[in-house]
Amino acid sequence: AQRVTQPEKLLSVFKGAPVELKCNYSYSGSPELFWYVQYSRQRLQLLLRHISRESIKGFTADLNKGETSFHLKKPFAQEEDSAMYYCARGPMDSNYQLIWGAGTKLIIKP
Amino acid sequence: KAGVTQTPRYLIKTRGQQVTLSCSPISGHRSVSWYQQTPGQGLQFLFEYFSETQRNKGNFPGRFSGRQFSNSRSEMNVSTLELGDSALYLCASSPGTGGTEAFFGQGTRLTVV
């Protein structure tokens, strides 16, 4: 089955520490991959997508086709990074829906 | 450009009742998807509509249904509500062809008592 796996339901790190949220996908082709973020009481919104190769709020994510991973990284966590993060894979073939990971709740401790 | 709008924002219903939620997508977007979000299950895909046709459906019972109108606005309906239907229901719109980024509404918080 086509799947996106986020192995950590909860990740807690101290402010200033590096952060890595893991995401693995099951498709071996060239999918479009996204990271979405949901801050407390805010709508789910796009954080970044792999094709744009940009850094948003200090976060980067590199597509590793060999490991079928798209981990989200930030070298120095800030308290405002505390949120729910979802990894998603774009539609493939005739399936038009995004495939979502289960999400990782990131808590940044002061 | 106005964002995705969901109404109502909050609902309290009794078991056995039915409920209709509404979603207005971003202007020009033809695809609307619905999700159920709960703390334990994360984001669960309900269904997706494109140009008034259901293109994809998740693994939810038939009590959950939806439709899309010619102006791309969408509604979802849940009949015979159960306590377990309490959740945040999210609507997302996208162009539907080409662009795949999803834009989400604020959600409707449904509480079944």
Instruction: Give the pLDDT confidence score for residue B48 in this predicted structure.
Output: 92
Report the range out of A66-70, A79-83, B101-105 with the highest average pLDDT. A79-83
Average pLDDT over residues B85-113: 90
Using a CB-CB cut-off of 8 Å, the residues of chain A touching B42 are 86, 100-103
**Residue that has been written with the tokens 């994360």 in this structure:** B42
Rounded to a whole number of angstroms, the distance from the CA of A97 to the nearest CA of chain B is 7
* Closest CA in chain A for residue B37: A102
Closest CA to B72 of B109, B22, B35: B22
- What integer pLDDT is reported at residue A93 of this predicted model? 65
Distance CA B71, CA A82 (A): 37
Contact B104 A45 (CB under 8 A): yes
Q: What is the model's pLDDT at position B74?
A: 97
Banded model confidence at residue B22, pLDDT cuts 50, 70, 90: very high
Q: Is A51 in CB contact (< 8 Å) with chain B? A: no
**Confidence tier at B1 by pLDDT (50, 70, 90):** low
Chain center to CA of A43: 16
More confident residue, B98 or B70: B70
pLDDT tens-digit series, residues A8-64: 999 999 999 999 999 999 876 678 899 999 999 899 999 998 877 778 899 999 888
Instruction: Identify the closest residue of chain B to A41 by CA–CA distance.
Output: B106
Residues of B in contact with A88 (CB under 8 A): 102
Give the mean pLDDT of A59-86: 93
For residue B95, cis peptide bond before it (omega within 30 degrees of 0): no
The identity of residue B101, as a single letter, is E
Residue B104, pLDDT > 60, answer yes
**Comparison of pLDDT for A14 and A90, the residue scoring more:** A14
| Residues B50, A96: C-beta atoms closer than 8 Å | yes
Across the range B3-14, mean pLDDT stands at: 97
A98 touches chain B (CB under 8 A): yes
- Name the minimum distance, in Å, from the CA of B51 to any CA of chain A: 13
* Chain B residues touching A90 at Cβ < 8 A: 100
